[in-house]
Amino acid sequence: MALRKRRLLGTSEIDMSDEEEPASKRLKSDSTMETDAVVDIHAEGDILLVVKSIAGIDKPISIRVSSHALSIGSTVFKRLIGDTPPPPSFDSPKTLQLLDDDGDSLFLLCNILHLRNDALPARLQPAALLAFVRTVVKYNAVVAASRATTPWLDSIYHSKTLQFSDPVLIFKMLEAAYLLDDPVYFARFSTRWVQQQTVGQSVDRIAEGSQHGKRLAAELIARQKDSINALKVDLDLIADACAEALADDNKHYIDCAPGAEPTPEDLEDKEDDTEIEICEVDKEAATKYLSALRDANIWPATRWPNSIAAIIKLFENFRIPKTDVAEQCHFCIQVDVKFATAIGMVKQMHQERLWGLCLDCYRSGGLFEGECRYEHAKGKTVSADAVVRQLSASVQSSGGSSRDGYMS
Ligand SMILES: [Zn+2]
Ligand SMILES: [Zn+2]
């Protein structure tokens, strides 16, 4: 037994650093157990992880942890620990020299692996988060660590001080969400990127300095193009309500069906001798709507600004101008109701649409067939049929007297 214990002590050190390390440095590392401070994450832990610095204190510090907890959450730790002979004990803890790793990140990761979420900071700066993510990936501990990072991603996402106009920062956060397999923040950061970054950037510029960022950059650019196209379809829905009112097909005399001439009875019904006129109610309203859209820079699309967020804002801020439709006759198409319905639908769709990327779909290289963890509609845009149905339903349900429309 004594022999075995001596052998254990002699071989229990695992040196993760380079084989060719200078002797002086190795000597220093070997002596850390006696001289350096120990931080307990698990007071009865059987392993000391030696890191070169924690919390800005620039000297080696040992973190006391449980080999069992580390092995459950990280296959890399399991292998490292498994490579050293058992059994460990409190009196003779093994040491793992992890001097090449970021000490703060390892400290956070070990707390997470010991379910010490109460010991985690509420917020993490982006640089610290990125260092942490690298460590998590290196130790293959994403499953164990990803949920614990949600508050950090959240605080960065909602930070008032971080400059999210900085494309590099937001792209890095997006990569972090990807590596942490966090579908919510992958969707949120990609939405922010797609909406806020100017249209027409190049993949190389976006993915600059990132090893695996090219595909992500290409997908973001494609997403921006899709979004612009979807916005053009939205605009068509709105403008079409006006075009319909102005179309020759719908031209009609007051109280006469389109294409019909007033009959002698119609003329007899009139009390005065004036002629029956073309009904102008819809036409006047449609013209007013189109000029309001033009004033708001919504129509035509060539007037749009160069970011999707700014375009969405135009739609959001649009207010339907008041029109006088009291004189609408039986054969008017009720352009006011159709227009208000179209505006209301588009605003609603803008709120519900996923402008960014779904992580599950991104990983599957197209639309993910199963249930995506981030809920989103999988059709590209609302089908024309569905829109036509809703528009005609809105006209029918508005009845003869009430013309308040969809959005009052
Ligand atoms: Zn009419
Ligand atoms: Zn999806």
Give yes or no for residue 85 having a pLDDT over 60.
Answer: no
Tell me what the mean pLDDT of segment 257-263 comes to: 87
Q: How many residues are there in the chain?
A: 408
Average pLDDT over residues 120-137: 95
Q: Which residue has the tokens 């580390």?
A: 70
- Whole-angstrom Cα distance, residue 369 to residue 205? 32
CA of 205 to the centre of ligand 2 (A): 26
Q: Ligand 2 centroid to 138 CA: how many Å?
A: 27
Residues paired with residue 64 on neighbouring β-strands, in sequence order: 40, 48
Percent of the chain with pLDDT over 90: 66
What is the enclosing helix (H) or strand (E) of 282? helix 281-295
Contacts (Cβ under 8 Å, ≥6 apart) of 40: 64
The residue segments making up the domain with residue 390 are 227-398
Among residues 83, 100, 123, the one where a domain terminates is 123
Q: Are residues 235 and 366 in the same domain?
A: yes
* Cis ω before 22 (30° cut-off from 0): no
Residue 78 maps to a domain: yes
**Residues, CB within 5 angstroms of ligand 2 (ion):** 358, 360-361, 368, 372
Asked if the model's pLDDT at residue 18 lies above 60, the reply is no
**Least confident segment among 4-8, 141-145, 178-182, 336-340:** 4-8
- What six digits make up the tokens of 182? 């966090």
Residue 251 has pLDDT above 90, yes or no: yes
CA of 175 to the centre of ligand 2 (A): 17
Is the CB of residue 206 less than 8 Å from the CB of residue 223? no
CA 401 to ligand 1 centroid distance, Å? 14
Confirm whether 245 is domain-assigned. yes
Ligand 2 centre to CA of 228 (Å) is: 20
Mean pLDDT computed over 324-351 = 94
**Does residue 211 sit within a domain?**
no
Q: Which of 215, 43, 50, 164 is nearest to 114 (CA)?
A: 43
pLDDT confidence of residue 361: 96
**Which whole number is the average pLDDT over 300-314?**
97
pLDDT of 209: 72
pLDDT at res. 139: 97
Q: At what angle do helices 335-352 and 308-317 cross, to 10 degrees?
A: 140
> Is 131 among the domain residues?
no
Q: Which residue has the higher pLDDT, 356 or 390?
A: 356
* pLDDT value for 160: 87
CA–centroid distance, 283 to ligand 1, in Å, is: 9
CA of 370 to the centre of ligand 2 (A): 8
Mean per-residue pLDDT over the chain, rounded = 84
Cα(361) to ligand 2 centroid in Å equals 4
Which of residues 65, 95, 123 is at a domain's end? Answer: 123
Which H or E run contains 279? none
Asked whether residue 328 is assigned to any structural domain, the reply reads yes
Whether residue 25 has pLDDT greater than 90: no
Are residues 233 and 88 part of one domain? no
Check whether residue 119 and residue 262 sit in a common domain: no
Using alpha carbons, list the distances in angstroms from residue 298 to 43, 122, 283, 315, 382.
64, 42, 20, 7, 20
Judge whether residue 7 has pLDDT over 80.
no
The torsion region of residue 398 among left (phi > 0), alpha (psi -120 to 50) and beta comes to alpha
Centroid of ligand 2 to alpha carbon of 391 (angstroms): 29
**Considering the domain boundaries, does residue 143 fall inside one?**
no
Q: Which ligand is nearest to the CA of 368?
A: 2
Structural domain count of the chain = 2
CA 16–ligand 2 middle distance (angstroms): 40
- How many A from CA of 359 to the centre of ligand 2? 6
Task: Give residue 396 CA to ligand 1 midpoint distance, Å.
Answer: 16
- Indicate which ligand has the atom closest to the C-alpha of 330: 1
Span from the CA of 280 to the centroid of ligand 1 (angstroms): 7
In this prediction, residues 187-196 reach a mean pLDDT of: 95
Distance 298 CA to ligand 1 centre (A): 27
Per-residue pLDDT at 391 exceeds 80: no
Least confident of 237-241, 287-291, 398-402, 404-408: 404-408
Domain-embedded: residue 10: yes
Separation of 295 CA from ligand 2 center, angstroms? 37
Q: Is residue 194 part of a domain?
A: no
Percent above pLDDT 70 for the chain: 82
Of 361, 407, 393, the closest CA to residue 380 belongs to 361
pLDDT band with cut points at 50, 70 and 90 for residue 189: very high
Residue with tokens 């002596």: 31
Nearest bound ligand to CA 377?
Answer: 2
- Range 315-335 average pLDDT: 95
Banded pLDDT at 395 (limits 50, 70, 90)? confident
252 and 390 co-located in one domain: yes
Per-residue model confidence (pLDDT) at position 63: 95
Same domain, 118 and 247: no
- Of the three residues 92, 123, 154, the one that is the final residue of a domain is 123
Give the phi and the psi of residue 62 in degrees, each rounded to 5: -100, 135
Confidence of residue 169 (pLDDT cuts 50, 70, 90): confident
pLDDT at 323 over 70: yes
- Whether this model's pTM surpasses 0.75: yes
The answer on 385 and 239 residing in a single domain is yes
- Dihedral angle at the C-alpha atoms of 236, 239, 240, 245, nearest 10 degrees? 180
Which ligand is nearest the CA of 254, by number?
1
CA 318 – ligand 1 centroid, Å: 26
